[in-house]
Structure formats: structure tokens, C-alpha cells
Amino acid sequence: MKIGIQTWGSDGDIRPFAALAGGFSQAGHEVTLVFTSVDNKDYADLAANLGFRLRRAHDRFDLNDAVLARLRRAVMRERLPVKQVLTILECFFTDQIFWGRELHRLGVAPRPLHRRSLTAARLARAIRAVLATPAMHQKAAAMGRAMSRENGVATAVRLIAEL
């Protein structure tokens, strides 16, 4: 079967679809993944390793540049650890707002920040909440262990093939 998959976003948005494309390819399907990378990454090596065709929908995506520059300035002003900032920023675009709320509900993340109301002070508060909440770290580690026992790609390929 010929399968086309389209996605856009950051590395964390594109890689799950690349894994799915690879799963379909390994199951004997001809797969093309069309993507737009907001961080302008190239996934050619990943596609070659997983055995699917890759097509870039846009040469460069610039929507985030102003937002990211603003956030970098906020991080520098507040002297915050970049890794934690990136964790919190996952909630800014499209479905990530849903997942930010879900992660907060599960107790592994602070309330999602919304781009339109973002300030350096709110960002700093969210980061400090993550750093100061051991229960959040413990729940996140338990969630990670549970997820590592799953074979999500194989399950997704099987369920979609059954449609």
C-alpha cells in the first residue's frame, strides 16, 4: 500500500511521524513523509535509516523567529536553565496546548503558558515551579518508565492497518 503522511512542527512533532513512517515501511508499505520543520531541521538521514521517502513542504519556516528571540531574551534576563525552558515551551503551538494541559493534569508539568500572555516573570515562575516540585519529577520518571515498556509504533501500524 502507498501511504502519505504530512506533519509540521518542531523535532518533537516530526519524529513520532517519522517513526510511524518507518514502522509502515518495515511492514512492507511504500511511505512518503511530507514535513515542515519550524526549527529548520533536516531528516534525510533518519528517513534513509528507517526506509521511507521524505519531502520538505517548505524550504524555511520563519514563524517562530520573533517568539523564540523574545524568549531567549527572557531566559538571559532571568538567568534560567535552558533545558527547563524548552520543556515548558512545548505548549505553545497547535496541539501542544492540549498536551500541555494534559501533562499538567497528570502532575508532570506546570500549567501551560500561552504565547500571547507570556512574560519573563511568568516564564520564570513556571520554571521555578518545575525545579521546586520533586513530586513532578517522580511522576515524570514513572511515566517515562511506563512509556519505555510500550511499542507504540508497532501498535499504531497494526491499528491503522486494521482500518
Residue 85 has pLDDT above 50, yes or no: no
C-alpha cell at 77: 534576563
Residue 88 has pLDDT above 50, yes or no: no
Quote the pLDDT of residue 143: 83
Average pLDDT over residues 19-26: 91
Report DSSP state, residue 110.
P
Share of the chain above pLDDT 70, in %: 77
Cβ–Cβ < 8 Å for 77, 123: no
Reported as type and span, the H/E element at residue 18 is: helix 11-26
Distance of CA 17 to the CA centre of its chain: 11
Mean pLDDT over the full length of the chain? 77
Average pLDDT over residues 33-57: 88
Distance, CA of 135 to CA of 27 (rounded, Å): 40
Neighbours of 149 (CB within 10 A): 6
Distance, CA of 144 to CA of 42 (rounded, Å): 27
Phi first, then psi, for residue 9 (nearest 5°) are: 135, -155
User: Any idea what the Cα angle at residue 99 is, between residues 97 and 104, rounded to 5°?
Assistant: 100
Residue 82 has pLDDT above 50, yes or no: no
Nearest to 88 by CA among 77, 79, 75: 75
Distance, CA of 71 to CA of 22 (rounded, Å): 34
Cβ–Cβ < 8 Å for 106, 98: no
Reported as type and span, the H/E element at residue 99 is: helix 96-105
pLDDT band at 50 (very low <50, low <70, confident <90, very high): very high
Q: State if pTM tops 0.75.
A: no
Quote the pLDDT of residue 72: 56
